[in-house]
Copies of this chain bind each other. A is one copy, B any other.
């Protein structure tokens, strides 16, 4: 006779052996290695919490410390491959298979391990896509998560970095999996309950906070005048005419420049209240001046940002905060918001090809996707209209009669024609294709596909791909804003001129923008210190960003 509750029975058995190394639910650090070897089993599917920000670092270290003769062939299903330990476990043979989303700081090493065959790769996902699979075919047997504090019952407080935790716990705990949390301390009563204790089986008291990366802090001092020019183009040439109120920004300096130009340049254009009122965004420090100037109505966050805790807590009309006062972030909901409730995604990339495909992968670095492909895609399941969305749809498809014509999500790539280390942004062939050949991948790691991109902004101008009819026009529109790169110099000058006459390409002068006005004095803040001052001292930048 078939048994139908074998998963719960297996969990009970894990809890029983784990309890030998615990007092109630609480595991001491000294017992951690024995505990891990007791509760884990070879070939387990394990979710080790960690995205681009918070990390269950102590549990990652403990996992890398188990005896590979006892625990091996794990299948890791996790948002981020960020800490060295995340890859150590593959080198040691503790883990074998990997499904993940983001690997920024480990991009080079993960590529080497993939080439060397140390990792059997499932797929590189977007965050939301990986979360989706947690509920379908990548459900974890064990989740190793991170919180700030816990009570004796296992109720968890995550503080502002709630991020992926509720999603991971829900998928694991309700499907017979084991949930183990690292916390700084055990307290009598948690400041708020982010995860109910009955979903948590063990808690490890570590005595120190989990690791968090301040990934979204951009120093205004490092913003160049070329970036300011691209920001002016975006504001006047895209934000204003479409009236983009609901949006997501990428992580780069170009969008940081936009944030810092809203109260100054945007104000002069009379855009306050007309654009950038509702956001799916982490608490970017560079958004402080716009918030203080009353531009922003509401922000929902994927995660938090180091140093922004007090500022966010003091601005509960803008941010989602809990009864404890601090931010409540939630990556799954914020990605959903970015997908379905935002009219624009704008971000930078490393390479763009002639079809408008973009990628952040090089032949030796696999950075993963994070959330960009989810937010930088046109959601066919959307059914609510908005002005920017309808306007973009009409540009793309003027022929379909109105009630049957869908809108389009604005997906904007912004950057300088020559990026870091003077590498050209535009290429004939993406390095992502080299990589997919080398690894024999079925899909090249494309961040945003050309058919989803609506605009490309460089210092040379804006290419509106919505207005392109056919492949040739699209290619020339891309070339037409590619500056002095090889791709740009390969343009058909006549065709580019015709595209410009039709408004497919718009130069700064077409928009009434004088590039000489792109001056750093236009930024609402010129340094991290300015941001701190603009926040009334509430923003407390991490020490590495302080030079005063």
- A residues whose Cβ falls under 8 Å from a Cβ of B: 2-8, 99, 122-126, 128-129, 131-133, 135-137, 139, 155, 167, 170-171, 174-176, 192-194, 196-199, 245-246, 278-280, 294, 298, 300, 314-318, 320-323, 328, 330, 332-334, 336-337, 339-342, 357, 369, 373-385, 390, 402-404, 406-407, 433, 436-437, 441-446, 449, 451-452
Asked whether A278 lies within 8 Å of B404 as measured between CB atoms, the reply is no
Could you say which of B123, B129, B174 contacts A320, with CB atoms under 8 Å apart? B174
Q: Which 5 A-B pairs have the closest CB atoms?
A: A123-B384, A193-B196, A132-B340, A377-B380, A403-B444
Asked whether B317 lies within 8 Å of A5 as measured between CB atoms, the reply is yes
Give CA–CA (A125, B381) in the complex, Å: 9
Could you say which of B132, B176, B316, B433 contacts A336, with CB atoms under 8 Å apart? B132
Asked whether B137 lies within 8 Å of A383 as measured between CB atoms, the reply is no
Asked whether A317 lies within 8 Å of B6 as measured between CB atoms, the reply is yes
Give CA–CA (A442, B340) in the complex, Å: 18
Asked whether A381 lies within 8 Å of B198 as measured between CB atoms, the reply is no
Closest B residue by C-beta to A324: B198
Known contacts A170-B333, A280-B136, A333-B332: A406-B320 contact under CB 8 Å: no
Asked whether B7 lies within 8 Å of A126 as measured between CB atoms, the reply is no
Asked whether B315 lies within 8 Å of A442 as measured between CB atoms, the reply is no
Asked whether B122 lies within 8 Å of A384 as measured between CB atoms, the reply is yes
Give CA–CA (A533, B55) in the complex, Å: 49
Chain copies in the assembled complex: 2
Closest chain-B Cβ to A128's Cβ sits at a distance in Å of 6
Closest chain-B Cβ to A503's Cβ sits at a distance in Å of 23
Give CA–CA (A318, B136) in the complex, Å: 11
Closest B residue by C-beta to A131: B336
Known contacts A175-B320, A380-B377, A404-B444: A135-B334 contact under CB 8 Å: yes
Asked whether A136 lies within 8 Å of B339 as measured between CB atoms, the reply is no
Could you say which of B337, B379, B404 contacts A357, with CB atoms under 8 Å apart? B404
Closest B residue by C-beta to A411: B380
Known contacts A132-B340, A137-B341, A246-B136: A333-B385 contact under CB 8 Å: no
Could you say which of B4, B278, B377, B443 contacts A316, with CB atoms under 8 Å apart? B4
Asked whether A381 lies within 8 Å of B390 as measured between CB atoms, the reply is no
Give CA–CA (A341, B167) in the complex, Å: 15
